[in-house]
Structure 1
Amino acid sequence: MSQLPSCETLLLESQGGVLHVTLNRPESRNAMSLGMVEELRAVFKAVRDDRDVRALVLCGAGGHFCAGGDIKDMAGARARAQAEGADAYRDLNRAFGALLEEAQSAPQVVIAVLEGAVLGGGFGLACVSDVAIAHINAKFGLPETSLGIIPAQIAPFVVKRIGLTQTRRLALTAARFDGREAERLGLVHFAESDAQALAERLSDVLEQVRQCAPGANALTKALLLATDSQPLSPLLDHAAGLFAAAVVGAEGVEGTMAFVQKRAPQWAE
């Protein structure tokens, strides 16, 4: 596995091809400080090209996922803005948007385990996950407008996740809702009733991920994300080339042979 960065706001644990990333500022319900943003970006960068890392699991310490942006950081940016102009606010906000872009495009499967507060920036992180698993009592919301600010960086990701109509309702009312409603909206894939059920669901999902070839997963994820922005015919041309290369590539050959020989492929052993 790649060398992981040293972190003060995150706990990192690698096990069986899975990197568990725990947001670790429980005293603030894991509010997203600039330091945490920078550390998360460093983690995603460190493992981006490492196919030994099959999945990243994001969770929070102390019973909460993430309560949004850190108000103290905003106060610090306010002080800098008074001295330097509005760019201090812009830079702080845009750094979080860059994190969301990098998390969404990570070649690995990104799994979010959501408990307690899932607000603002935490809501955004949930929206860029490939698989989201929530406790039924988790509290979701976009509280920004109730604070006189806007969900600037997360808005595009929320719209893509649950659609424009629902995003408008949630962003313009700052309504709170639970894990079952998050499942109904399509924000999360599973809503579980207790900690054991959460752990069992995560174990099941990770076992499913291990059945899939890591290189094929990375290419498939990039192809799926490209459907948002690429014209159809050129995208299908590109996909055909990817398919042809995959069939004769190492994973394609191994997967075909494993099927014929009625055995598990090497990546699933």
Structure 2
Amino acid sequence: MDQLPHCETLLLEKQGPTLFITINRPDVRNAMSLQMVAELSTVFSQIQEDLHIRTVVIRGAGGHFCAGGDIKDMAGARGQKAAEGEADPFYRLNRAFGQMIQQVNESSKVVIAVTEGAVMGGGFGLACVSDIAIAGPSAKFGMPETSLGVIPAQIAPFVVERIGLTQARRLALLGLRIDANEACSLGIVHQTATSNAELEEMLAGALDRVRQCAPIATAETKALLHRVGHEPMSGLLDSAAEKFAEAIRGSEGTEGTMAFMQKRPPAWAESND
């Protein structure tokens, strides 16, 4: 990607093979507006085929990750009436978020969520579709929708995939808010930091590990993992064997094998793209 798209709700910074996305609406605890949804979707679309970007780090400005949906957008949708033959404005609002979160979930990049402060509703869903999630000491997670008289329509399926039906029921049906340690025990996040310094160390360690792994092989592995449970196992394993043969005969497989035999880092581990 030669040029990062212009965004009003996001701060974008490319450092080597990593794209840092900072949700930048601190005055509303980074609540997710329709514009933010559209901008996130645009960014992920543009980087999908860019092999120079291997990792996307998502975090929030001002000490919060994302406090959920934007109340102003909700109020705006309430004031609209669907024209004949058009979908309900609330449907369009909700479904746009679902399409974006599915896009992040299926991205070819390694997505790392650095969660702090409020991680609620849509922000909770965004954390649940990350490949690696790290929580700071201030992080509070929750699905408060039922306590507000609505439902977690677009995030619930991803929460179930993340932590299983039993725990998702408890969180969603009681509208619970939990701390970082409980979020880690449930599998929402993978690591919890006790300080901001430790949080940055954990992030740096995760980014270093991504650099050790071949970018195409990583993307293919992520795609394979997402197919599990959605296809018959025999056919899935047939397809996986074909992908394995392609990988081992490809440039990354050749380089990885040679690097191992020559006891040196592979080329992708030294790349500063």
TM-score bucket (shorter structure) = over 0.9
The answer to whether the aligner puts 1:23 opposite 2:27 as a matched pair is: no
Q: Does structure 1 retain, via aligned residues, the 8 Å contact 2:82–2:89? A: no
CA positional deviation for 1:73: 0.2
Partner of 2:48: 48
Partner of 2:187: 186
The answer to whether the aligner puts 1:231 opposite 2:237 as a matched pair is: no
- Structure 1: distance between partners of 2:90 and 2:238: 42
User: Which residues in structure 2 correspond to 1:107-126 (within 5 Å)?
Assistant: 107-126=108-127
- Structure 2: distance between partners of 1:17 and 1:139: 30
Q: CA RMSD in A?
A: 1.1
SS in 1 for 2:255: helix
What is the percent sequence identity of the aligned residues? Answer: 62
- Structure 1: distance between partners of 2:202 and 2:155: 26
Structure 2 gaps, min length 5 = none
CA positional deviation for 1:16: 1.3
- Structure 2: distance between partners of 1:31 and 1:234: 42
- Structure 2: distance between partners of 1:44 and 1:54: 12
Q: Which amino acid aligns with 1:159?
A: V
Partner of 2:134: 133
- Structure 1: distance between partners of 2:264 and 2:26: 45
Partner of 1:62: 62
SS in 2 for 1:118: strand
Partner of 2:253: 252
Partner of 2:213: 212
CA positional deviation for 1:81: 3.1
- Structure 2: distance between partners of 1:74 and 1:262: 57
- Structure 1: distance between partners of 2:188 and 2:143: 13
- Structure 2: distance between partners of 1:120 and 1:228: 26
Q: TM-score, normalised by structure 2?
A: 0.96
Q: TM-score, normalised by structure 1?
A: 0.98
Partner of 1:71: 71
Partner of 1:199: 200
Partner of 1:171: 172
Number of residue pairs aligned between Structure 1 and Structure 2: 269
Partner of 2:269: 268
Q: Which amino acid aligns with 2:240?
A: A
**What are the superposed Cα offsets for residues 1-30 of structure 1, whole Å, 9 maximum, x if unpaired?**
343211000000000110000000000000
User: Which residues in structure 2 correspond to 1:98-109 (within 5 Å)?
Assistant: 98-109=99-110
Structure 1 gaps, min length 5 = none
SS in 1 for 2:90: helix
